[in-house]
Amino acid sequence: MKLTVTLGVATLGAAAVLALATVGAAQADYPERSIGVMIPFSAGGGTDVPGRFFAAEMEKILDTDFVVSNVTGAGGTIGATQLSKAKPDGYSLGFMPVGTTTTQPHLRKTSYNADSWEPICLVAQGPLFVTVLDDSPIKTIDDLIAKAKSDKVVTGGPPPGSLPHIAQAAVALAYDVKFNYIPHEGINEVAKSMLGGRVDMAIWFSDAKARFGLRPLAVLDSKRSAEFPDVPTMAELGKPVESFVWFGFFAPAGTPEAIVTKLSDACDIAANSDSFRDNMKKAKRQVRYMPRDEFAKFFAQQYEQNGNLLRDAGLIK
């Protein structure tokens, strides 16, 4: 009897060792097929542009196809929800912004939260600008606020909970005025509404000027933009409102450590490559690389901080 138990344990141990060895070998061979990258906003939008640049670099480094899919809707939460439920095997990844990952869970009570992800790396970051159409009669922030006090200013941007949405609310709060915010699926749709006269102002990246002819009135940063040195900061205008949108690379929670490490190592090379930085510069986007451990801490801090910001702004209880 004792012998049987001993043999049974020995056999079980061998099977476990064999299974672990098989898993280890599979992870060592990763990737063995194409990798899906989910971007939770429309093609050509603020998240899609850096996401596709980044996916192209990762393809070269890991020598496999990175198949980008745009899963839109509900401020990015539809795509993020799908990704959070995907098999954590390294073949379903996401390129997602701060709003989708750190504000929407607080606003919408999503099925995913801060613990749903393995943060791999931070890839890009950029300050937001208060913008109007190039030929708008609104020439300065003072003009904008005067119109808001005497009339109705309509602002547009991504769905509620996005950083542009929160940023415009913060600007309105700083000046004690109200803006009428109209949600859109992406900046392309916002620009069309502005051209059609339905929206007066939008908060977006610096590329809004080159892509859509939107003129910046102020930058939501502590320092002026090198690209628009004549545009004042909100702090210079006496209202120190700052807002940055960042973009990170994520895997679903539970993705094996060896795979996350391999992706993280590749991310380091991709985000610092000359070709990626050149493409981002041409698109007027700022690269901000943050390695895995640093990004994980930053992400946790952002999740908590943005929840508090939403409560302070009265957007959630």
pLDDT one-digit tens code per residue, 31-43: 999 999 999 999 9
pLDDT > 70: what percent of the chain?
91
**Cα–Cα distance between 306 and 317 in angstroms, integer?**
13
User: pTM score, two decimals?
Assistant: 0.76
- pLDDT tens sequence across 38-94: 999 999 888 999 999 999 999 999 999 999 999 999 889 999 999 999 999 999 999
pLDDT above 60: residue 26 = no
Would you call 43 helix, strand, or coil by DSSP? coil
pLDDT above 50: residue 21 = no
Q: How confident is the model at residue 7 (pLDDT cuts 50, 70, 90)?
A: very low
- pLDDT tens sequence across 257-298: 999 999 999 999 999 999 999 999 998 888 999 999 999 999
- pLDDT tens sequence across 122-155: 999 888 999 999 999 999 999 999 999 999 999 9
pLDDT above 70: residue 18 = no
Q: Which of 81-85, 187-191, 198-202, 273-277 shows the lowest per-residue confidence on average (mean pLDDT)? A: 187-191
**Cα–Cα distance between 119 and 293 in angstroms, integer?**
8
Summarize the confidence of residues 194-203 as an average pLDDT: 96
DSSP per-residue codes, 84-135: HTS-SSSSEEEEEEHIIIIIHHHHH--S--GGGEEEEEEEEEEE-EEEEETT
State residue 27's pLDDT score: 62
DSSP type of residue 232: P
Cα first-last separation, the chain:
64
Angle between helices 292-312 and 163-175 (to 10 degrees): 40
How far out from the chain centre does Cα 191 lie? 20
Which domains does the chain carry?
26-125+246-312 (3.40.190.150), 129-219 (3.40.190.10)
State residue 269's pLDDT score: 98
Across the chain, which distance is largest between two alpha carbons, in Å?
92
Minimal CA–CA distance to 311: which of 38, 103, 31, 61?
A: 103
Would you call 300 helix, strand, or coil by DSSP? helix
How far out from the chain centre does Cα 275 lie? 21
State residue 28's pLDDT score: 72
Q: How confident is the model at residue 1 (pLDDT cuts 50, 70, 90)?
A: very low
